[in-house]
Amino acid sequence: MNQKSICLYFQVHQPTRLRLYRFFDIGKDSHYYDDFANRTVIRRTVQDCYLPMNAILLDLLKTHKGKLKLAFSISGSTLELFERYAPEVIDSFKALADTGWVEFLCETYYHSLASVASQAEFKHQVLKQKDKIEQLFGVKPVTFRNTELIYSDSIGAAVYDMGFKTMLTEGAKQVLGWRSPNYVYSCASQPKLNLLMRNYSLSDDIAVRFSNTSWDVWPLTAEKYVEWLRGAEGEIVNLFMDYEAFGLLHPAGSGIFDFMRALPAWVLADGSMQFVTPAQAVKNLKCVGPVEVEDAISWSTVESDMSVYLGNELQQDAFNKLYDLTEKLSILNDPVLWADFGHLQESANFYDMSTQFFSDGAARKYVNQYETPYEAFINYMNILSDFIIRVNDAMAVRDER
């Protein structure tokens, strides 16, 4: 009997925070970022999570000599923040890449929602990210994960056209129905694209619930968890999670690092399981059939949909106003404007405008710098207004020539 595959993938992303931008700044000051907050947050995250966790993983990879495999995706905009404020983190990720047992995935450079807005901008950011990963880690990514695992049939087809064979997404109930996420599926409109569906229950046991002392099975041990993995029916268990869970969401004192140190040995000792990277998984396993996904799904919110990003009229208007500029940006092809355009597309900007948290009081994914979604919207629109002026001015200059 084949061994069950365990596919570990960690998402590394920190939004580039926008500064408090007043109406009075429009047309006068085009620096949009809160450099101090960005530096502070990056430094803290690096110290509490990225560096210690990378060290643990490097150690484990060396100990298990090829038996442990895993995958990372690091957004381009976060890599920029690392280069600026914490270059040592890039070296530690390089060390992981050099072992040869870590796959680096591709995504949108700015961790954006471009895939649901504009084909051209989506492609532009994917190719930019691909170059960045290749340049830093020396490997060409072959697997794609979209921002927040956003996926639909048409996005899948576009991703395949850009040269990817595999894509990661959420094992959303509304698309899988009775089916299990623990198999390899394919895209309904492009059968050659393989889909790996996140096992949200087992993923969130680590990523969300680990440090929750009122959880009835707390504390979670590697032994107990391996039991659950063994019990999961199917061929592959996809454990996809935010890397910040280790040391930030679950602080060191919760025992999360010890848990991760112990886990690989327990999994391997069991004998019925092996670690795989996403690229290997689709080589080893046969696709069992297509999944139809008409409306985009994601790993955010309980509903696994896009509502937390584009659910209210504020988000929709801001989003439409932003992507109305896509064509002008391509015509201008100006690196400075491209960069700001990219950062304005970061998904956190729209996440901050969500009114869902008003009603359910759910935990937010990022530390939100705004007291209300309305403040987030006002600030964002002020910045966007300035940006629109710059784009139109540049167009006017271009037309004169």
- Binders in 130-149 for other proteins, by CB under 8 A: none
Check residue 24 for interaction with other proteins (CB under 8 A): yes
Judged by CB under 8 A, the chain residues 302 through 341 that form the site for other proteins are 312-314, 316-318, 320-321
Choosing from 1, 2, 28, 231, the residue that interacts with other proteins (CB under 8 A) is 28
Q: Is 244 a catalytic residue?
A: no
| Residue 111 beta carbon to other proteins: minimum distance, rounded to whole angstroms | 23
Per CB under 8 A, does 178 bind other proteins?
no
Which of 374, 395, 397, 398 is in the footprint of other proteins by CB under 8 A? 374
Considering the candidates 103, 148, 235, 244, report the single residue annotated as catalytic.
Answer: 148
Look at residues 382, 386, 304, 318 and name the one whose alpha carbon lies nearest to residue 349. Answer: 318
27 binds other proteins (CB under 8 A): yes
Please work out the total of residues on this chain that contact other proteins, with binding judged by CB under 8 A.
28
Q: Where are the alpha helices (DSSP H) in 232-297?
A: 256-270, 278-284
Tell whether residue 382 is a contact of other proteins (CB under 8 A). yes
Stretch that binds other proteins, among 75-83, 108-116, 361-369, 385-393 (CB under 8 A): 385-393
Structure-token pair, residue 185: 């599926």
By DSSP bridging, strand 184-187 and strand 194-198 are antiparallel
- Segment contacting other proteins (CB under 8 A): 7-15, 103-111, 224-232, 370-378? 370-378
The set of residues, in sequence order, having a beta carbon less than 8 Å from that of 361 and lying 6+ positions away, is none
Please report whether residue 383 would count as binding other proteins according to CB under 8 A: no
Is residue 394 within the footprint of other proteins (CB under 8 A)?
Answer: no
In this structure, are residues 367 and 40 in contact, taking their beta carbons and an 8 Å threshold?
no
User: How many angstroms separate the CA atoms of 401 and 395, rounded?
Assistant: 10
Euclidean distance between CA atoms 329 and 246, whole angstroms = 38
User: CA dist 307 to 107, 114, 155, 297, 385, Å?
Assistant: 21, 15, 17, 10, 25
Task: Verify binding: residue 390, other proteins, rule CB under 8 A.
Answer: no
Report d(CA 112, CA 345) in Å as an integer.
5
- 290 upstream amide cis, omega within 30 of 0: no
Of 279 and 394, nearer to other proteins (C-beta) is 394
Q: Which residues bind other proteins (CB under 8 A)?
A: 22-29, 312-314, 316-318, 320-321, 372, 374-375, 377-378, 381-382, 384-386, 388-389
Q: Which amino acids are annotated catalytic?
A: 148
